[in-house]
């Protein structure tokens, strides 16, 4: 039954050796100026040696100038960036090392949007509309049309750099309350121009990114997206909105959708659900993945609480999704896929305590179960 987990999958022209994806995870292993630190390289190599089919990096900033001006503090978390050509060479060696170990690797790109830290940015965060965050008193600044066009270009040029660095695909971060998800959200986007109002208008930011990126990377390079399918807030994005958005963006050229939900500011515990201790709690975004599968033809990746091989095999057999994405389990067990392939089918050791999520923007990534953090 579980043999389906180890069958190959295809995202556009890229063959993935099994159905397992390491979902983009905040790693905090960049250098002070946004480069990949040695520990990050070793993390990806460990995942590749653990036979993860496709590794997706942490979200790299397409607008990281302010973040790279922070004072470096040993032991703190730092982002990676892809907003300058100089990063291409840094990543070529990393990508080559992953390929040598038999895995594929994609880079995720992000603009922090309305959830950007104004203390780091030095000004109000940018967003489609000036809708206050519910968890703070921060009010973002509505982007001008010129700023939207400039940000489209930032994403597109970063896609080009990802391709030039040798990555097998690029993934746009369209979830969790960051800028792309802000645009598709009827809650965060109340614009009255061509970028707001109808679902088609709210998806325009994505379609413009894809169109411009295609001019730079060509038609054959896979452009993926991790997309919110529900924000779990009043007036926010719903499943029906997400299905309509998916139709629009796949027609525009998106090649694969990873299904996610929730936002860091408004519904964080729907984004990274704690306490996954029963099989019925697993695959908590499955109904959203199925909804998309019924309406689009591109591969669908399911993330969210996957722990048990039999549950994951059933997801694939029932046609809910094409690939399976895990984050927290791989933090504790980078060799998890290899263990399952050997025949040890005990579920992942991750207990979903969410301590890794609690500290993810403060310290470099690690599991805290065996080694609890003393200085909290």
Active site residues: 178
**Residues ≥6 apart with Cβ < 8 Å to 228:** 174, 175, 176, 181, 184, 185, 237, 242, 260, 261, 262, 263
Supply the DSSP string of 169-211, one letter for each residue: EEEEEE-BTSHHHHHH-TTT----STTSSSHHHHTHHHHHHHH
47 phi and psi, to 5 degrees?
-65, -40
Classified as helix, coil or strand, 126 is: strand
Question: What pairing do the DSSP bridges indicate for beta strands 20-22 and 54-61?
Answer: parallel
Q: Across the strands, what pairs with 174?
A: 227
285-317 burial, b for 16+ CB within 10 Å, e for fewer? bbebbbbbbeebebbbbbbbbbbbbebbbbbbe
């Amino acid at each position: 039954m579980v043999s389906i987990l180890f069958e190959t999958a295809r995202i556009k022209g890229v063959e993935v050796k099994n159905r397992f994806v390491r979902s983009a995870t905040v790693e905090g292993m960049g250098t002070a100026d946004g480069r990949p630190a040695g520990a990050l390289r070793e993390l990806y190599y460990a995942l590749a040696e653990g036979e993860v089919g496709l590794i997706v990096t942490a979200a790299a900033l397409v607008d990281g100038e302010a973040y790279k001006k922070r004072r470096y503090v040993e032991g703190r978390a730092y982002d990676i960036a892809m907003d300058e050509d100089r990063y291409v060479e840094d990543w070529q060696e990393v990508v080559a090392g992953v390929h040598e170990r038999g895995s594929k690797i994609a880079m995720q790109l992000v603009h922090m949007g309305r959830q950007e830290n104004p203390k780091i940015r030095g000004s109000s965060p940018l967003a489609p509309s000036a809708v206050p965050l519910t968890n703070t008193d921060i009010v973002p600044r509505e982007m001008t049309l010129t700023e939207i066009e400039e940000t489209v270009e930032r994403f597109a040029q970063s896609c080009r750099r990802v391709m030039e660095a040798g990555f097998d695909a690029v993934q746009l971060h369209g979830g969790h309350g960051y800028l792309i998800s802000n645009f598709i959200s009827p809650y965060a986007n109340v614009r009255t121009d061509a970028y707001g109002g109808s679902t088609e208008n709210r998806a325009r930011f994505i379609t413009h990114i894809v169109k411009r990126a295609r001019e730079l990377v060509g038609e054959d390079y896979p452009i993926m997206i991790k997309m919110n399918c529900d924000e779990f807030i009043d007036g926010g994005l719903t499943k029906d909105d997400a299905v309509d958005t998916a139709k629009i963006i796949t027609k525009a050229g998106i090649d694969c959708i990873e299904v996610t939900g929730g936002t860091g500011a408004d519904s964080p515990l729907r984004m990274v659900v704690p306490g996954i201790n029963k099989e019925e709690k697993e695959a908590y975004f499955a109904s959203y993945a199925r909804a998309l599968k019924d309406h689009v033809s591109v591969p669908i990746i399911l993330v969210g609480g996957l722990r048990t091989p039999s549950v994951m095999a059933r997801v694939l057999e029932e046609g809910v999704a094409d690939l399976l994405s895990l984050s927290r389990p791989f933090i504790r067990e980078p060799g998890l896929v290899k263990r399952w392939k050997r025949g040890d089918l005990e579920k992942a050791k991750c207990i979903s305590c969410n301590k890794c999520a609690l500290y993810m923007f403060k310290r470099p990534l690690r599991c805290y179960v065996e080694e609890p953090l003393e200085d909290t």
